[in-house]
Amino acid sequence: MKALRKFLRRTLWYGVFKRLGHYPDYWYWQLRGKPIRSPHLLKQRTVREYGEKYGLRLLIETGTYYGEMISAVKNSFDRIYSVEKDPALAHRAARIFARDPKIQILEGDSQQVLPALLKSLAQPALFWLDAGYYGWAGLESDKRRLSVELEAILRHAVKGHVILMDDAHGLDGKRGALTIGDLKSRIDSEFPGHHVEVKYDILRVTPSAQP
């Protein structure tokens, strides 16, 4: 099986192979009593749910990986930008989605790419940020990545952005990472008008309901 997986990773079909396991993974997650790590199928449903709830037709993702999220939600958005730092994965995704003009793969460090992309936006967007992409291992170059990207989004002139961040358990205060409490306090203090919560290991930053 390991040899087969290694072979498939070198093909454009690996994303399809991974998607075949989404439903079994979801059922197994439920059978285990819904532990912290949320299955990809739940993440897909959450992205679609928040896009519909807030009327957002633009999706911006960090961490393309094998393009599973794009494939799952592409019919729910008018435009999708996905940022991938790994050149091989970025090129692979660009080939897979080359025929869909509404999908654009951006190669590079999202700490630089995301603020630049924001300058071109004239409408609110749904952001799907991959915590695993932030280098929770404590790499010096990555310690401020989350702060830089969140600040760029929350300070943007266009209001109404919604942020979903995967793997919120990575916000544990270890190796230089923020904690969920720190992040919530900072947003409450510096960016009032936003609600912060964590559900099923997904951090959710949404505009507060208007009085």
Residues 67-109: tens digit of each pLDDT: 999 999 999 999 999 999 999 999 999 999 999 999 999 999 9
Instruction: Output the pLDDT for position 139.
Output: 43
Instruction: Output the pLDDT for position 6.
Output: 53
| pLDDT winner (highest mean) among 21-30, 149-158, 167-176 | 149-158
The pTM (predicted TM-score) of the whole model is 0.86
d(CA 131, CA 136): 8
Secondary structure letter of residue 208 according to DSSP: P
Cβ–Cβ < 8 Å for 124, 161: yes
d(CA 80, CA 73): 9
CA separation, residue 190 to residues 78, 154, 182, 193 (Å): 31, 9, 12, 10
Total domains in the fold of the chain: 1
Instruction: Output the pLDDT for position 138.
Output: 42
Cβ–Cβ < 8 Å for 121, 58: yes
Percent of the chain, pLDDT > 90?
A: 56
pLDDT confidence bin for 9, thresholds 50/70/90: low
Q: How many CB atoms lie within 10 A of CB 84?
A: 28
List the CATH number of the domain containing 184.
Answer: 3.40.50.150
**Host domain of residue 81:** 36-207
Does residue 160 fall inside a structural domain?
yes
The per-residue pLDDT of the chain, averaged, comes to 84
d(CA 30, CA 40): 13
Q: For the segment 112-158, what is each residue's pLDDT rounded down to a tens digit?
A: 999 999 999 999 999 999 865 444 334 444 556 677 888 999 999 99
Does residue 3 fall inside a structural domain?
no
Give the residue with greater pLDDT, 193 vs 19. Answer: 193
Does residue 19 fall inside a structural domain?
no
Does residue 6 fall inside a structural domain?
no
CA-closest candidate to residue 149, choices 122, 172, 178, 173:
178
Q: Got the DSSP string for 175-206?
A: GG--BHHHHHHHHHHHS-SEEEEEETTEEEEE
Give the residue with greater pLDDT, 208 vs 136. Answer: 208
User: Which neighbouring-strand residues pair with 71?
Assistant: none
Of the listed ranges 19-33, 95-109, 157-171, 188-202, the least confidently predicted one is 19-33
**Residue 41 scores a pLDDT above 50:** yes
